């Protein structure tokens, strides 16, 4: 049997195996933990952020606070947060929420290291328990990342499958090319 035939059949077998293993990638036990974290994040967002910020692409388009009031208090409309996690990068939201410090020259008494002279007050500053506050920040960060990029986990799985396919095809083609 020619070497090229052997390597081609190796490639076909492996790509079939690769496609099947994708189906087992979803671990059923981990789904409920993820759903729980996602729910906590959504609740935290609705409780602390949704007063002023809309989340258009997750379905939260209307605010209870009137638009005129928001513009009066902050000078401009608080931005929609649907893509904020993509805009600010992997650690941007966390750094922002952790970056508030007291500053008496500002109208609400706080400024932000990440976003200087931000119009937003330190909403999470009212949470006195530091551990609970950090948990809230983690949950909100995770939820906003999920809303920004809902296909992230699927995309990474597809990426691995594509790379595996390409590497094996390259290897088999290299040997078929040589002989």
Partner 1 sequence: MRDWWLTRFPIVFKWIDDLKQYRVPKNLNVMYCFGALAILVFIGQWLSGLWLCMFYTPSVALAYDSIQTMVRDVSFGWLLRNIHVMGASAFFLILYLHLLRSLLYGSYKKPRELVWILGVLLLLVTMFQAFLGQTLPWSQMSYWGAQVLTALLGVIPGVGDQLVTWFRGDFVVGDATLHRFFALHVVAIPVLLVGLIVFHVIALHQVGANNPDGIEVQSSRWDEETIHFYPDYWRKELLTVLFFLMIFFSMVCFFPNALQQSDHFFPANSRQTAETIQPMWYMLPYYSMLRAFPSKVGGVVVANCALLIWFLLPWLDKSAVRSMRYKGIWSQSTLIGFVLNFIWLGYLGSLPISRFILVMSQFSVLCYFAYFVFMPCYTRYELCRSLPERRQ
**CB 88, min distance to partner 1, A:** 6
Closer residue to partner 1, CB minimum distance, 29 or 59: 59
Does residue 158 interact with partner 1 by CB under 8 A? Answer: yes
Show Cβ contacts of residue 179 under 8 Å, excluding neighbours closer than 6 positions.
2, 3, 4
Nearest Cα to 143, choosing from 36, 42, 32?
Answer: 42
Binding residue for partner 1, selected from 15, 86, 98, 135, defined by CB under 8 A: 86
* CA triple 60-64-67, angle to 5 deg: 95
Binding residue for partner 1, selected from 10, 18, 88, 133, defined by CB under 8 A: 88
Closer residue to partner 1, CB minimum distance, 129 or 178: 178
Could you tell me which stretch among 38-46, 82-90, 103-111, 119-127 binds partner 1 (CB under 8 A)? 82-90
Closer residue to partner 1, CB minimum distance, 85 or 136: 85
Does residue 57 interact with partner 1 by CB under 8 A? Answer: yes
Show Cβ contacts of residue 109 under 8 Å, excluding neighbours closer than 6 positions.
102, 103, 121, 122
HSE, CB side, 13 Å, CA atoms: give it for residue 112: 21
Does residue 87 interact with partner 1 by CB under 8 A? Answer: yes
- Please give the DSSP secondary-structure letter assigned to residue 112: E
- Give the Cβ contact number of residue 134 at 10 Å: 15
Does residue 177 interact with partner 1 by CB under 8 A? Answer: yes
Does residue 83 interact with partner 1 by CB under 8 A? Answer: yes
Bridge partners of residue 101, in order along the sequence: 111
- Please give the DSSP secondary-structure letter assigned to residue 111: E
Binding residues vs partner 1 (CB under 8 A): 57, 76, 79-80, 82-84, 86-89, 148, 150-151, 155-156, 158-160, 162-163, 166-167, 169-170, 173-174, 177
């Amino acid at each position: 049997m020619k070497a090229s035939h052997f390597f081609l059949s190796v490639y076909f077998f492996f790509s079939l195996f690769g496609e099947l293993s994708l189906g087992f990638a979803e671990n059923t036990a981990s789904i409920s933990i993820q759903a729980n974290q996602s729910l906590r994040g959504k609740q935290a967002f609705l409780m602390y952020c949704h007063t002023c910020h809309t989340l258009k692409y997750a379905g939260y388009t209307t605010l209870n606070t009137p638009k005129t009031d928001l513009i009066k208090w902050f000078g401009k409309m608080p931005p929609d947060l649907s893509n904020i996690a993509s805009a600010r990068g992997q650690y941007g939201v966390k750094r922002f929420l952790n970056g508030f410090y007291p500053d008496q020259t500002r109208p609400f008494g706080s400024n932000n290291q990440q976003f200087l002279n931000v119009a937003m007050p330190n909403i999470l500053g009212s949470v006195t328990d530091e551990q609970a506050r950090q948990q809230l920040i983690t949950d909100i960060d995770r939820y906003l990342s999920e809303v920004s990029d809902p296909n992230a986990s699927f995309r990474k799985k597809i990426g691995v499958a594509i790379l595996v396919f390409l590497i094996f095809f390259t290897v088999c083609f290299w040997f078929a090319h040589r002989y």
